[in-house]
Amino acid sequence: MATKQTLDIDYTKYNFRDADTSYEYKFDKGLTREVVEHISRIKKEPDWMLQFRLRSYEHFTKRPLPAWGGNLNTLKFDDMLYYASPTEKKSRSWDDVPEYIKQTFDKLGIPEAEKKFLGGVGAQYESEVVYHSLRDDLAKKGVIFTDTDTALREYPELFKKYFSTVIPPEDNKFAALNSAVWSGGSFIYIPEGVSVDVPLQAYFRINIQNMGQFERTLIIADKNSRIHYIEGCTAPIYSTDSLHSAVVEIIAKPGAHVRYTTIQNWSNDVYNLVTKRAYAYANATVEWVDGNLGSKLTMKYPSIYLLGQGAKGEILSVAFAGKGQHQDAGGKVVHLAPYTTSRITSKSVSKDGGRTTYRGLLHVAKGAKGVKSSVRCDALLLDEYSRTDTYPYNEINEDDATTSHEATVGKIGEDQLFYLMSRGLSEQDALSMIVMGFMEPFIKELPMEYAIELNRLIQLEMAGSVG
């Protein structure tokens, strides 16, 4: 049981001060041109970024909401706060974090420091100390790993060269929104031939909020480099923001290998509308490992553009929709070069009236010879009130492509349950074991500690689902 925590962490004892925390601006709710200009001014951004934000804002106001996907009717853009300075963010207290979230933390065995961080109470400063040596190591290799705002200040040329080249603001309404008001996120540059062996996580990063409302992540993996980035975490993240709209861009240069793992577990009142896209050049590999557990509505379709011969793309998407949740997830692969290969695997579980949707695109462009692709989506419905939809789009323009798509929907087999129970498991344990087995391909891809956490989380989600 979570005992009462105080928020009076004495930051001075770590002996660092964030100079930027001195600014404090109050914004009214709603998004106007002035708000956008203000954000840019506070951040002391160069003019091109201001112009970029304004162009994005213009597009955002003009662009209609998507007519497809989840229900966005209750999304009120005018009721939202589009920017809050870091000091405001931290002014929330541990007491404000809902009890059920705290209990979940306890059950998952999350360390105190991380608990507060996850609770949005800003404990990320501790992590800096913990991961300091790791960051030194990376820096020696020439790896840049910082937050996106800092990157704009410190690496202006590199930043400008790649920023928004993969996802232009005109891509969709939410990409435009993010482009107008983005703040935070990770910026990673891996030099040629460098291989980062440990997965990089947002935890490691210094400063400013890690879990921004409109975070903007840019990963550039130079030739033959290797990196695994992990975003989010398995534990539920408590947030007062009702809309999270991130943009993630990945550029995998020839021969690079990038894996991006996301485990999204926002609380159940959050709209999570995210645009993620990767460019994979010749012989590069991009892998999206995408888990969606939380949020009220998620609309997220990580995509890979295979631009060079021999590029490889892999998307592994897992969704778990409980009561009142709609996980509209999937993936897109666009084959634009010959001899490229891709695989999409989607697994979804719906229970207690939750709804999962797989929405995917497989596009083989003209001239992309010798493409091989397979798509597989499986859905499990745990009760009669839940719903699942599959909308795969397969567009093949080349005559020697080999593509396949398969999907199945089913329920847990009585005989499977019976078998496990005959071996001494309770119905509850048998059920969660079957669900975990169903999720296995995803869990296998996670680093150890995440896999353990996710397993525990599924057990928790499954609790009380029998009877």
Q: Is 379 in the site for other proteins (CB under 8 A)?
A: yes
Query: Minimum distance between the CB of residue 72 and other proteins, rounded to whole angstroms?
Result: 13
Query: Minimum distance between the CB of residue 408 and other proteins, rounded to whole angstroms?
Result: 5
Q: Is 67 in the site for other proteins (CB under 8 A)?
A: yes
Quick one: tokens of 13? 């004892």
Quick one: tokens of 73? 């009717």
Q: Is 416 in the site for other proteins (CB under 8 A)?
A: no
Q: Is 333 in the site for other proteins (CB under 8 A)?
A: no
In single-letter form, the type of residue at position 198 comes to: V
**Separation of alpha carbons 165 and 161, rounded Å:** 8
Query: Minimum distance between the CB of residue 338 and other proteins, rounded to whole angstroms?
Result: 13
**Separation of alpha carbons 235 and 453, rounded Å:** 8
Query: Minimum distance between the CB of residue 102 and other proteins, rounded to whole angstroms?
Result: 32
Q: Is 398 in the site for other proteins (CB under 8 A)?
A: yes
Interface pick for other proteins out of 79, 96, 106, 383 (rule CB under 8 A): 383
CA atoms within 13 Å, Cβ hemisphere of 290: 31
Q: Is 381 in the site for other proteins (CB under 8 A)?
A: yes
Q: Which stretch binds other proteins (CB under 8 A): 166-174, 275-283, 408-416, 430-438?
A: 408-416
Q: Which stretch binds other proteins (CB under 8 A): 269-277, 295-303, 328-336, 374-382?
A: 374-382
- Residue 258 near residue 227, CB atoms below 8 Å: yes
- Residue 108 near residue 86, CB atoms below 8 Å: no
DSSP state of 306: E
Q: Over 100-134, what HEC string results?
A: HHHHHHHHHCCCHHHHHHHCCCCCHHHHHHHCHHH
Strand, coil or helix: what is 447? coil
**Separation of alpha carbons 186 and 149, rounded Å:** 9
Size of the site for other proteins (CB under 8 A): 37
Contacts of 350 (CB under 8 A, 6+ apart): 320, 321, 356, 379, 380, 381, 382, 386, 387, 388
Q: Which stretch binds other proteins (CB under 8 A): 11-19, 220-228, 403-411, 449-457?
A: 403-411
Interface pick for other proteins out of 34, 106, 112, 395 (rule CB under 8 A): 395
Between 138 and 334, CB nearer to other proteins: 334
Interface pick for other proteins out of 180, 392, 461, 462 (rule CB under 8 A): 392
Q: Which stretch binds other proteins (CB under 8 A): 1-9, 100-108, 109-117, 392-400?
A: 392-400
Query: Minimum distance between the CB of residue 390 and other proteins, rounded to whole angstroms?
Result: 4
Q: Is 391 in the site for other proteins (CB under 8 A)?
A: yes
Query: Minimum distance between the CB of residue 429 and other proteins, rounded to whole angstroms?
Result: 20
Interface pick for other proteins out of 388, 439, 442, 454 (rule CB under 8 A): 388
Between 116 and 363, CB nearer to other proteins: 363
Q: Is 278 in the site for other proteins (CB under 8 A)?
A: no
Provide the terminal-to-terminal Cα distance of the chain, rounded to the nearest Å: 27
Interface pick for other proteins out of 129, 402, 437, 447 (rule CB under 8 A): 402
CA–CA distance from 96 to each of 84, 90, 121 (Å)?
18, 12, 9
**Separation of alpha carbons 281 and 162, rounded Å:** 14
Q: What angle do CA 48, 149, 82 make, to 5 degrees?
A: 85
Q: Which stretch binds other proteins (CB under 8 A): 177-185, 316-324, 396-404, 420-428?
A: 396-404
Q: Is 42 in the site for other proteins (CB under 8 A)?
A: no
Q: What angle do CA 44, 48, 54 make, to 5 degrees?
A: 90
- Residue 27 near residue 88, CB atoms below 8 Å: no
Binding site for other proteins (CB under 8 A): 67-68, 364, 366, 375, 379, 381-411
